[in-house]
Amino acid sequence: MDPSVRSRVISNALRLGVHPFMDRIPGHAGSIRTARSTVDAASLLMRHTPRVRFHALQDPGVESGEPPVTGEWVVARDAEAAPGAILYLHGGGYVICSPRTHRSITARLTLDTNLPVLVPRYRLAPEHPFPAPLEDAVAAYRWLLARGVPADGIVLAGDSAGGHLAAALTGEICRTGLPSPAGVVLFSPWVDLTCELSAQAHARDPYISARSARRVARLVVGPNGFDDPRVALLTCAWTNTPPVLIQVGGAEVLLPEAEALAEALTAAGADCELQVWNGQMHVFQLLNRVLPEASAAMRDTARFITAVTEPARTKSAA
């Protein structure tokens, strides 16, 4: 199906107004701070549905010895108690954005699934290079388990760099023997931080470029470089991986990375569904209140989450 008129208009506007800026932004701490301030200021102007409540979370982690868990709970006002939760890891190249910037997705998730959404404020690079974000994600997952949320009722989700983090968290859960979550949802995941795959892509991405992503990636990995096996998703064993849904835009530079991850997961025996949305840009789901394709993608996501968490719901009702 061809992209909607709205989709084409927004993509063209981004290609003309945002892509040149993103492609040339320097990869150093000063430019990152400026980008953070700009994005945070813009997020304050975003309106959100009154059907959803946002609760600040601040757990120092003193008792558990884990890193502190901070962020927010996103809950539908009329939602009944459900035996599960969504752990959402926001994107932003590991260097910008916050739980607030991704409320259009997290609010839609809680409304469509009736599950609360935990959005941790994980540490960002370059001040805190990898694996600091992964340590925070593991702490958030352990936090849910410690408060009685059943693992088979938890879905891990994330977009872009948050998609990389959600996938890395899935691998870390398998390696450390933590209870496996019910499923994983990845929106436009940044799979290959070396950017070798995206550099070969021919898509006219209206938002990001492989060149800019590579500059940011050097800040993300820090002094450890790209040798940390937790960074390299395509070489993970992916044993005992729960069902995975990957959604990616057909017009984005990260499409080859999403396809490669789906192939690796399928080869390892995982149940992986890859959806390529024709003509869509990077993390188009953020515009689910504007784009019909984004709204449809969120409905598909809700169906997947409902299906994989059904055993936990049934068990709770028995």
Annotated active-site residue 43? The verdict is no
Q: Which residue has the higher pLDDT, 209 or 106?
A: 106
Sign of CA dihedral 11, 198, 187, 97: negative
Q: Pick from 109, 90, 107: which is nearest to 36 by CA?
A: 90
Please answer whether residues 168 and 134 qualify as being in contact, where contact means their C-beta atoms are separated by less than 8 angstroms. Answer: yes
Mean local confidence (pLDDT), 275-283: 94
pLDDT digits (tens, 9 = 90+) for 87-96: 999 999 999 9
What is the model's pLDDT at position 315?
83
- Write the pLDDT tens digit of every residue in 290-304: 999 999 999 999 999
Q: Give residue 49's pLDDT.
A: 85
Percent of residues, the chain, with pLDDT higher than 70? 92
Residue 317 in this model has a pLDDT that exceeds 80? no
Residue 13 scores a pLDDT above 70: no
- Per-residue confidence band for 83, with pLDDT thresholds at 50, 70 and 90: confident
- Point out the catalytic residue in the list 160, 198, 209, 212: 160
Work out the average pLDDT over 114-129. 96
- Quote the CA–CA distance of 6 and 288 in Å, as a whole number: 12
Q: Which of 25-29, 54-58, 61-65, 226-230 has the lowest mean pLDDT?
A: 25-29
Does the pLDDT value for residue 11 go beyond 90? Answer: no
Cα gap 4→293, rounded to integer Å: 8
Render pLDDT for 142-180 as a digit per residue (tens, 0 to 9).
999 999 999 999 999 999 999 999 999 999 999 999 999
pLDDT at 155 (0 to 100): 98
* Residue 64 confidence (pLDDT) above 70: no
User: What pTM does this model have?
Assistant: 0.94
Tens digit of pLDDT for each residue in 195-225?
Answer: 999 888 776 777 777 888 888 899 999 888 8
